[in-house]
Structure 1
Amino acid sequence: MIDPSLVSEPHPWHRYTALGDSFTEGIGDPDPESIGGNRGWADRVAEELARGQADFAYANLAVRGRLLQQIIDQQVEPALALQPDLVTISAGGNDLLRPGGDPDLLADKLDAVVDSFAASGATVVLFTGPDVRETVLGSIRSKTAIFNENLRTVAARHEAVIADMWALRQLMDPQMWSSDRLHFSPLGHHTIAAMVLDTLAVRHTLEPLHPKERPVRSWRAARAEDLVWAREYFVPWVLRRLRHQSSGDGVVAKRLEAGPIFGPGMPPGASD
């Protein structure tokens, strides 16, 4: 176990703002003690960044279901107004899931967003999409790969940082994904948070967690699980697409203002 008192080396960031969709909101990582009822990788990163930083402030503007243009229209100006010195942006995944989602056009739009934050002096972190070959999202794997290469070009243009989920091979384990097979599980969010902190060269207390051994399932049991998943998650998802609805309709970002974070990952006395 890592002693939190040993992880107190200073880092340059004091105001962190997260932009994005369900991934950054923390869907798949439910926690009643967290604002909005979900914790997620961004909260975990903020908790670690807040250690030893008395003036650290964190805002999370992400809302589930948001497309890239919606994130641009609804989150960029409020984020700039918060004057962050660290910004994470994960966007475009929902667009790639839709017919006609163009990874080149998405990268062009994102380039302008990154330029705005880079011009403000903030450190910008961009996320590549994960390798989804073994998941229900496998049909968008080729578009994700193209989008990822475009993101690397955007990052190089603006000296942004790449948080490389494609290279995070642990995410290919089914236990990294939640029961809906579309979002990451608590284990997945934890693993991604550690990767982000490592990418930023920030010492942290997030020890690697490994998936548990899974019992061998019969074909019949696997088929039954697939049918339950289709009924509870896939069919409702398809119906929302047909009705032009979003899972984020009526949902407000969980941290609109930059403020201190006192989450379940903080050591005793951190909020004093």
Structure 2
Amino acid sequence: MAPHPYTRYVALGDSFTEGVGDVDATRPNGVRGWADRVAEVLASQSEGFGYANLAIRGRKLLPVIAEQLEPALALEPDLVTLYAGANDILRPSVDLDTLATAYDDAVARLAATGARVLVWTAFDPGGSATYRLLRGRFALYSEFVRETADRHGATVVDFWRLREYRDWRYWDADRMHMGPAGHQRMAIEVLDTLGVAHDLAPLPLLDPEPVSRREQVREQVTWVREFAAPWVHRRLTGRSSGDGLAPRYPALTRPAVG
């Protein structure tokens, strides 16, 4: 493969792009994530490379656009990634047509700069007892992502078809965010989609231990108490897990290499 052409990479979005679930106490907001992993590979192949990550956990699509689009454009990127909308889909009600219009406008503005723009379909929740009731919403979201990408020449990372993510070992204990193995797998997918040479390899997955029915019930109760209930409480009180947080890398920064 030829050397990649990217020198200014800006990542926009929510917890997916911020890196939640991939814990690293040495980094801003205590996380690493697939975008950092991608940026590290890109930086290793370009001396003048810079990376900004504007994503903040808990953000819905319209706030992502309102807070992150103009700062991203001001950085004059030649590579942009945008993932947002999942936090809207998980709400009790959502106007997908309004979201689709706003999303299309944002991608149009990013693409008009001449930057390479990567966007994501949703993950297919058909294998999840918790999220599969929303599968229709995720499918509609994915379709408007594909239509927008076709209209504006963006590149799609097709999360919907990455079936290995039905294995919970790719996910964090909260069942909402990818764990380290999931972020590593996504970094590989992004680099492959960009056609960038790399030596990233999937992280090993631990073989699941046999779990009795009683243990399964205990795990479910623990998950509801520690993760699901706090998430619902934040929704009811109008709070977000990202309240008080700033973007991890608001200005172009050279990632650590090696």
TM-score, reference length from structure 1 = 0.92
Counterpart in the other structure of 2:37? 44
Tell me how far 1:108 sits from its aligned partner.
1.4
Counterpart in the other structure of 2:72? 79
CA deviations 1:90-142 (Å, max 9, x no partner) are 01000001122233321211110011111111111001111112332222211
The answer as to whether partners of 1:66 and 1:248 remain within 8 angstroms in 2 is yes
Tell me how far 1:208 sits from its aligned partner.
2.7
- Give unpaired runs (5+ residues) of structure 1: 1-7, 268-272
Determine the C-alpha separation between the residues in 2 that align with 1:261 and 1:165: 25
2:87 aligned with 1:94, yes or no? yes
The answer as to whether partners of 1:137 and 1:182 remain within 8 angstroms in 2 is no
Counterpart in the other structure of 1:4? none
Which has the higher mean CA deviation after the structures are superposed, 132-141 or 226-235? 132-141
Determine the C-alpha separation between the residues in 2 that align with 1:170 and 1:34: 28
Tell me how far 1:149 sits from its aligned partner.
1.0
Match of 2:105, as an amino acid? A
Counterpart in the other structure of 1:170? 164
Determine the C-alpha separation between the residues in 2 that align with 1:210 and 1:37: 22
Question: What is the SS of the residue equivalent to 1:166?
Answer: helix
CA deviations 1:175-196 (Å, max 9, x no partner) are 1110011111100010011001
2:103 aligned with 1:110, yes or no? yes
CA deviations 1:225-245 (Å, max 9, x no partner) are 111111111111111111111
Determine the C-alpha separation between the residues in 2 that align with 1:36 and 1:9: 34
Question: What is the SS of the residue equivalent to 1:133?
Answer: helix
Counterpart in the other structure of 1:258? 252
Aligned with residue 10 of structure 1, among 3, 28, 32: 3
Tell me how far 1:205 sits from its aligned partner.
1.4
Tell me how far 1:259 sits from its aligned partner.
1.2
Determine the C-alpha separation between the residues in 1 that align with 2:204 and 2:23: 19
The answer as to whether partners of 1:103 and 1:144 remain within 8 angstroms in 2 is no
Q: What is the number of equivalent residue pairs in this alignment?
A: 257
Counterpart in the other structure of 1:247? 241
TM-score, reference length from structure 2 = 0.96
Counterpart in the other structure of 1:27? 20
Match of 2:42, as an amino acid? L
Determine the C-alpha separation between the residues in 2 that align with 1:163 and 1:116: 19
Counterpart in the other structure of 1:194? 188
Aligned with residue 159 of structure 1, among 142, 153, 157: 153
Determine the C-alpha separation between the residues in 2 that align with 1:236 and 1:151: 30
Aligned with residue 55 of structure 2, among 50, 62, 67: 62
Superposition pairs of residues 213-224 of structure 1, within 5 angstroms: 213-224=207-218
Tell me how far 1:55 sits from its aligned partner.
0.3
Tell me how far 1:248 sits from its aligned partner.
0.8
Determine the C-alpha separation between the residues in 2 that align with 1:194 and 1:210: 14
Question: What is the SS of the residue equivalent to 1:230?
Answer: helix
Tell me how far 1:25 sits from its aligned partner.
0.4
2:192 aligned with 1:179, yes or no? no
Counterpart in the other structure of 2:125? 132
Change (3 A) 1:210 1:105: farther
- Give unpaired runs (5+ residues) of structure 2: none
Tell me how far 1:51 sits from its aligned partner.
1.3
Question: What is the SS of the residue equivalent to 2:36?
Answer: helix
The answer as to whether partners of 2:181 and 2:202 remain within 8 angstroms in 1 is no
CA deviations 1:139-161 (Å, max 9, x no partner) are 22111111101111100111100
Structure 1 stretches of 4+ with a deviation exceeding 6 A read none
The answer as to whether partners of 1:29 and 1:39 remain within 8 angstroms in 2 is yes
Match of 2:170, as an amino acid? M
